Amino acid sequence: MKMVRLALSVLMTSHLILLANHSTYASANVKEAETMQQVESAFNEIVNLWHEQKFDELYDRFVYKDKGTISKGKFINRMTKEKKKLACCWQKVQDVKIKIYSSGKAEVKAKFGFEDLSNETTYVATEIPFYLKHETWRVKVKDMLDTAPDAPKYKTKKHTKK
């Protein structure tokens, strides 16, 4: 009788441990799915602002806007001078893949379609890092400018000590 009780006790303990591990794993999957949804939503919002040429609002979605970054006016000027505009509809963005690196960093891989004045579409595949700042997923200005095919590439100022 004691052996049966011992076996049942071990079996019940093992079962409870398995349930606890499954619950923890399921909770982590739900959190990662929520994070992926948030990143995807931020990505879609940024792409739509870009397509609609709302560059002032797009600028507000950048992570770092302090020393060494491009001013809002210069950013808007660069983006409006592009010869190629973000394409419409299904050509705008394709093959979107999201990877979560941590609770504050993710990456979106996508293929962007750009139309020139003759309405010919060319595609640019890129990887854009996203950073969680002030509870909002944001991108760096450099990554946006590097994605645009005709925009002058973003250059950081080199600070030299005298």
The whole-number average pLDDT for the span 31-46 is: 93
Lowest mean pLDDT among 19-23, 41-45, 63-67, 126-130: 19-23
pLDDT at 18 over 50: yes
Domain boundaries, the chain: 2-147
> In this structure, what is the dihedral angle of CA atoms 26, 28, 31, 37, given to the nearest 10 degrees?
-80
- CATH number among 3.20.20.70, 3.10.450.100, 3.40.640.10, 3.40.50.2300, domain 2-147: 3.10.450.100
- What's the predicted TM-score (pTM) here? 0.74
> Tens digit of pLDDT for each residue in 105-150?
999 999 999 998 888 898 999 999 999 998 999 999 888 888 877 6
Three-state SS for 1? coil
The whole-number average pLDDT for the span 59-76 is: 79
